[in-house]
Structure 1
Amino acid sequence: MSRTVYVNGEYLPEERATVSIFDRGFLFADAVYEVTSVLGGKLIDFDGHAARLDRSLGELGMSMPMEAEALRDVHHRLVAENGIEDGLIYLQVTRGAADRDFAFPEAGTAQTVVLFTQSKPGLADSPAAKMGLKVISIPDARWGRRDIKTVQLLYPSMGKMMAKAAGADDAWMVEDGHVTEGTSNNAYIVTGRKIVTRQLGQEILHGITRAAVLRMAREAQMEVEERSFTIEEAQAADEAFITSASSFVTPVVEIDGAKVGDGTPGKIAARLREIYLEESKRTAS
């Protein structure tokens, strides 16, 4: 069955949805995006995603295409029209369509706004949460402003393919000897019951799930340290895990062929996943 998608103010069957070949998102990756999870037909962390969208757009000299509440209404309508119980909503905003030129188009050029859904039944019951992930390390070859959630995802896609070729599930990227983040997630280790994750900066995405999980960890009296760490430190850790909007909290059990801890998902990662899902479902909108 065809999905209903949103393109520039219209709700359309996906086969009728089009974007100009001159759109700067297509020509220059001049666009940002957000992904909001849906559990039980409700939006998870929507306010955080809307706020980050506003920030990403502002960093690129673009404005919000509509008020956050209007954007929430679009999300709700797409959930309803596509019958999404568990799944994801992707939102992309580009600088718009203009004749190809490196210089930005004139002020007032209409932005392109696209939203679509993906149905993911059982999203919160992923087998990876029970089995854990195997990751490899790769050099971080992305541009420097990773704190802006742009659609420049070619290298992360290449990283996932490198992992697949190596028989792993994902890759952690390394710069100047320290882990930055996963290809589409934030990275963590647990050492002596202390949760360690890289501090915020331009080197990593300011994850919405990251912020929520760290807040909940502190509320649960868990110790958190925000600093960089090496692959060797991660391999020697008691646990490791990732967070993202689509994977929530997922344990990592192997890094570059070395088992983390005893090679099974750790208790702290499992507890954080449980806390996060309980709270997120309770506050979903």
Structure 2
Amino acid sequence: MSAMHEKRTVYLNGEYLPEDEARISIFDRGFVFADAVYEVTSVIDGKQLDFDGHVARLKRSLAELDIREPLTREALLDIHRELVARNDITQGLIYLQISRGNPGDRDFLFPSEDVAPTVVLFTQSVPNLVDAPKARTGIKVISIPDLRWDRRDIKTVQLLYPSMAKMMAKKAGADDGWFVQDGFVTEGTANNAYIVKDGTIITRALSNDILHGITRATLLDYAREAQMKIVERNFTIEEAQSADEAFITGASTFVTPVVEIDGTAVGSGEPGRIAIRLRELYIQEARKAAI
């Protein structure tokens, strides 16, 4: 952050602190083993989008890794709201991370139950979250072999390979990557992947192979209510390239059209009608339900 920016207030283990005063131990398991989970919640009009979905997924991630739940839903909501107020966030994101904590040394074995989880939250102001330039132009993606571990349904902080994939995409002059496993698209680096053919929305079914996207779940609910046809199944890069439209969903991207895959234009090469409609629908409905 530049000197012109005021310091953010962040949350660490029960305290609200200036960002440069927040400290965690070098022995924290989040740092040493990526033994931590996270969530990112969008903020529009100073309110949380899909908050309960994020809390439910957080609880599930913690349970899958046997990390104890340090805070209730109500306490988490209070912290989110306090950070929004203290940092004057109108549009932006709140990042939440919970690690297994600091056992005081490095050991592969999990520490005893009395080691408290480390809880960190911070805000990111994104003034054009709703009116994002990429939503108007669409994004270009490249296919990348999916070399991640097999429990992508747990939202852990081990994001090295998605980070490498983002860099591969950047080097190739694209915006993002779509992971491919056994010939089929799994998901994007930080988002779920979709194609549209003859008016039908096609996206991979939920399993351990992909993250159970909160924006995905909410958007599909809204799409069903709007009488749109949805099929959950695997699809290939070739099928995606010959689709009428493609798009991604994620907490920070909402619904963003994909206009090119591995150098091949999708449909007209412009953001598709259904993707544009779904973005409007999602923002409108999520805004109404925000807390």
Same fold at TM > 0.5: yes
Question: How far apart in 1 are the matches of 2:88 and 2:69?
Answer: 27
For the pair 1:76 / 2:81, whether they are aligned, the reply is yes
Question: How far apart in 1 are the matches of 2:157 and 2:97?
Answer: 8
- Which residue is 1:52 aligned to? 57
- Which residue is 1:16 aligned to? 21
Alignment check: 8 A CA contact 1:54 1:63 kept: no
For the pair 1:147 / 2:149, whether they are aligned, the reply is no
TM-score after normalising by structure 2: 0.97
For the pair 1:187 / 2:193, whether they are aligned, the reply is yes
Aligned residue runs from structure 1 range 24-173, under 5 A: 24-98=29-103, 99-173=105-179
Question: How far apart in 2 are the matches of 1:199 and 1:191?
Answer: 17
Instruction: State the SS of the aligned residue for 1:124.
Output: coil
TM-score after normalising by structure 1: 0.99
- Which residue is 2:288 aligned to? 282
- Which residue is 1:216 aligned to? 222
Displacement of 1:122 in angstroms is: 1.8
Displacement of 1:63 in angstroms is: 2.2
Give the number of equivalent residue pairs: 285
Moved over 3 A (4+): none
Question: How far apart in 1 are the matches of 2:203 and 2:52?
Answer: 23
Question: How far apart in 2 are the matches of 1:283 and 1:92?
Answer: 24
Alignment check: 8 A CA contact 2:34 2:156 kept: yes
Instruction: State the SS of the aligned residue for 1:123.
Output: coil
Question: How far apart in 2 are the matches of 1:84 and 1:264?
Answer: 32
**Aligned Cα root-mean-square deviation (Å):** 0.5
Structure 1 unmatched ranges of 5 or more? none
- Which residue is 2:3 aligned to? none
Matching residue's letter, 2:67:
M
Question: How far apart in 2 are the matches of 1:70 and 1:215?
Answer: 27
Alignment check: 8 A CA contact 1:30 1:150 kept: yes
Aligned residue runs from structure 1 range 254-269, under 5 A: 254-269=260-275
Displacement of 1:126 in angstroms is: 0.4
Q: Deviations over 1:196-248 (max 9, x none)?
A: 00000000000000000111111100000001100000000000000000000
For the pair 1:200 / 2:197, whether they are aligned, the reply is no
Identity of aligned residues (%): 68
